[in-house]
Amino acid sequence: MTVAKSRSSVWSREQDIAFENALAIYPEDSALRWEKIAADVPGKNLEEVINHYELLLDDVCRIESGCVPLPCYNSFSVRSSSHGGNERTVRKSGISGRLNGESNDGCKSTKLEQNRHKGIAWTEDEHRLFLLGLEKYGKGDWRSISRNFVLTRTPTQVASHAQKYFIRLNSMNKDRRRTSIHDITSVDNGDVSIPQVPITGQTIGAAARVSSGKSNKQSPTAPIAPLGVGIYGTTTIGQPVTGSLVNVAGSVGKTTTNTMVALVLESVGTVCCSPGNWNNEIGVGLSLIGMSRDVGFGVLEMGMSKKGEILELARMCRPDVRVILNVSAAHLENFTNLEEVSVAKGEILREAMIGDVCVLNGDDPLVMSLPVPVGVEKVLFGRKLGCDVRLVSSEIVDGGCNIQIVLEGFNEMVKFVISSPGLHLPINAAVASALGVPLSLAGESLSRSKPVHRRSELEVAENGITIINDVYNASPASTQAAIDLLRNIDCKGKRVAILGDMLELGPTEFEFHELMIRSCCNAHFDVVALVGTRFISAAESIDCAQEIKDIKLICTTDGHQMASKIISYLNSGDIVIVKGSRQIGMEKHNPRDPDEKKRVIEVRQRMPDARMLYVKCEFAKT
């Protein structure tokens, strides 16, 4: 989708893409929709974004009514890098299309070309826009998807494409399976390299098949469609790469584990890893489309908010390695208890086939209760004896800034240090080491890992105030981990916890918010700042009143007000941790009137060396 340039200012392609993504993320009924969209588009203000949208809407209406011919776009090249750093060029077809021998070097304004591509195969860009429209409008609203996203297709064509797409997703033809995980090798440019250690660390006998190259589960003569087309239009559905696909599911820690797994696998081959937390149907689909077919390993995460979603993603990916990290209280709005959550997470295992591998948390009884199909290899990680990869010990070192980890497994033991204060990282490291890569290589790789953006990032201001930026999202388990981190880290000054509401907890939300406040009290923090109505209600409860009297407690629904109050308590040597659910927006501070902007400037002048409290860990109104 190419958005018409605003008549008041020039828009770059990066700004157009950010604008399109923001439109899909924030539905029309969301609060402060345009402010949020403007915040996501770099270099554009609220007025420019709204004007841009109105121009776009006007262009769409004129095209729909036949007042102007359909726009013609030339094909273009996009340079992109795999996770391993190898550049590749993705050739995208323009609206006129390169498929079926059609040229898009020119465009004639004829009625035939204005007939919405009747009889012409869908391009990669059209399908990508279809997925974005599907995310925003849902199944059935084909007119809105056609009008606002896939401008080159009629509602009827969109409906027909959707029918074929969902039929393909639900298809379970075994002939379209990838190679077995036991046949893992390092793959570059389609050539199988010398035999390497199998990804699951199985016995020598089981690993002997590595040298045989392709397994007979996949026909080597299967046709390879253009990049991105196979996911909806050819026999390569669910088979985007010739290497092995690793999918990671769990209540907390998916993105961090995803990053660690990719880092470890880079030691034995090329890797494509899903960017950020692209873990829903759209994000996973786009990750598969953008994945090079000759990559050695693909690493994707799977998220869910209700039952059935993990199963749909697993059918889309057909992973060789299926990982479940944990089951804890998150996204409880659509579930009555944790057992139901575990069943939903277990959907990733349901259709695993012989030759696949399931990597499971041996310490989590809910994970261990999930059934694994017969003939599927099971690899356990955890602290308990009997786990294939066992976390022997983890110790905070260097004043709480780093974690020293000792892992044991596959007849090896390795000790290494991760440059991050997160207490959850040792288990994440155990997962990444459970894929059969020698522990020595895994430890060496993990010692180079850095915190994922907005996940336990340690930032030190020039005046000595330390900020732990953990604002990406929050659940009871991850918030408790943040509290434990602040309690255990060496601190010469005050310990300050700034916590935003935890969302999507259903009827148990009050109990969980009260539990977090009690945990802060038990940790004897100097200041606890609470943002949001849920935390305020919990703090006002009679049961908590006695416990919180010994700590400095600040409660507000106004993030700006909270920031101003916190500033007055901070000095050199203090440590501040910031945590909250994604929708609370703990990282953003968007002044909405001149007085607010003036106040922010004044506060920054009072504390110039620690202004990253605003820049990196900012607060937004809830």
Q: How confident is the model at residue 207 (pLDDT cuts 50, 70, 90)?
A: very low
Using DSSP, state whether 37 is helix, strand or coil: helix
Are residues 242 and 345 both part of a single domain? Answer: yes
390 found inside a domain: yes
Q: Which of 41-50, 101-110, 134-143 has the highest mean pLDDT?
A: 41-50
| Single-letter amino acid, residue 294 | D
Domain end point (choices 130, 149, 170): 170
Are residues 109 and 214 both part of a single domain? Answer: no
Separation CA 148–CA 137 (nearest Å): 10
| pLDDT given for residue 350 in this prediction | 92
| pLDDT given for residue 363 in this prediction | 94
| pLDDT given for residue 310 in this prediction | 94
Count other Cβ atoms within 10 Å, centred on residue 485.
23
| pLDDT given for residue 337 in this prediction | 87
Tokens representing residue 343 in the block: 């069943």
| pLDDT given for residue 423 in this prediction | 67
H or E stretch covering 299: strand 297-302
Q: What is the pLDDT of residues 451-506, one digit of tens each?
A: 777 777 777 776 678 888 887 778 888 888 888 888 878 888 888 888 888 887 88
Are residues 259 and 394 both part of a single domain? Answer: yes
The CATH code of the domain that includes 475 is: 3.90.190.20
Are residues 312 and 193 both part of a single domain? Answer: yes
The CATH code of the domain that includes 366 is: 3.40.1190.10
44 found inside a domain: yes
193 found inside a domain: yes
pLDDT above 90 as % of the chain: 16
Enclosing domain of residue 483: 457-615
Are residues 320 and 215 both part of a single domain? Answer: yes
Are residues 43 and 78 both part of a single domain? Answer: yes
Are residues 411 and 538 both part of a single domain? Answer: no
621 found inside a domain: no
428 found inside a domain: yes
545 found inside a domain: yes
110 found inside a domain: yes
Q: When comparing pLDDT for 179 and 396, which is higher? A: 396
Are residues 367 and 512 both part of a single domain? Answer: no
Domain end point (choices 395, 419, 446): 446
Long-range contact list for 68-72, CB < 8 A, 24+ apart? Answer: 69/109, 69/113, 69/114, 70/95, 70/113, 70/114, 70/116, 70/151, 70/152, 71/2, 71/95, 71/151, 72/96, 72/104, 72/106, 72/107, 72/113
User: Given the structure tokens 């294939």, which residue do they identify?
Assistant: 388
Are residues 209 and 334 both part of a single domain? Answer: yes
Q: When comparing pLDDT for 79 and 299, which is higher? A: 299
465 found inside a domain: yes
Using DSSP, state whether 1 is helix, strand or coil: coil
Are residues 606 and 463 both part of a single domain? Answer: yes
Number of domains in the chain: 3
Domain end point (choices 139, 170, 201): 170
Q: How confident is the model at residue 608 (pLDDT cuts 50, 70, 90)?
A: very low
Residue 353 pLDDT > 80: yes
Are residues 487 and 410 both part of a single domain? Answer: no
Residue 338 pLDDT > 80: yes
Question: In sequence order, what E strands does 383-526 have?
Answer: 389-397, 402-409, 412-418, 457-460, 466-470, 495-500
Are residues 583 and 505 both part of a single domain? Answer: yes
| pLDDT given for residue 605 in this prediction | 31
The CATH code of the domain that includes 96 is: 1.10.10.60
| Average pLDDT value over all residues in the chain | 71
